[in-house]
Chains A and B, each alone.
Chain A
């Protein structure tokens, strides 16, 4: 158990719908990273938040958005869903160094499997 929690574990929805995925980082970690993993694309970085602020964006579609709340949990919102959005969505947090900066060790949650029908 990495200490990162994600809900729900599975989600089945129809095309055109909107869903929200939730992530809580490990206790003490300030950052949250979101990734999408599909069979044909591998693990793709979507977006990074640190202490409530967006730090970096990757290959995230405009239909997708995210935020990190004051309690540090994060939500990834996926709207106007398409069949191709079916994938595993992971969040990860990175450990803090003794000086309070981020480190390069990422701890992944168990993922949310999204199926769009």
Chain B
């Protein structure tokens, strides 16, 4: 069955460092992959989308990579700040034109001042 795995353990890093979060998937051929940020008790906020034929996407301090051979996406936040502390979700869209994503369970990021 299709599976999306994100590290369930919180990632703790010091302010100013680069945070790297991982999204692995199996039995899936995604056409698109997205990353969302979610704060406690609030709705997810869209951050970045990357297509299957793209290797890397950047937006300000954020960078996403997508390796369809390894079936993995990495999400980087450079020069992290305590305000970046949140849960980050990856979401995959299947090929075939479906607009229905499958979300991972998310990884909590805690940036210490």
Binding site for B on A (CB under 8 A): 2, 4, 31, 33, 42-45, 48, 55-56, 58, 88, 90, 92, 94, 102, 104-111, 113
Give A31's nearest chain B residue, CB to CB.
B99
Binding site for A on B (CB under 8 A): 32, 34, 41-46, 49, 89, 93, 98-106
Give B4's nearest chain A residue, CB to CB.
A42
Interface of B is mostly: loop
Given A43-B89, A104-B32, A104-B93, are A56 and B43 neighbors across the interface (CB < 8 Å)?
Answer: no
B100 touches A43 (CB 8 A): no
Q: Which residues of B contact A56 (CB under 8 A)?
A: 98-100
Q: How far is it, in angstroms, between the C-alpha of A3 and the C-alpha of B99 when the chains are bound?
A: 20
Interface of A is mostly: strand
- 16 new A-B contacts at CB < 8 Å, known A45-B103, A110-B43, A113-B41: A33-B100, A42-B105, A42-B106, A43-B44, A43-B103, A44-B103, A45-B101, A48-B100, A56-B98, A56-B99, A102-B99, A104-B49, A104-B99, A106-B101, A109-B43, A111-B42
From A42, A90, A110, name the one whose CB has the most chain B CB atoms within 10 angstroms.
A42
Give A44's nearest chain B residue, CB to CB.
B103
A90 touches B103 (CB 8 A): no
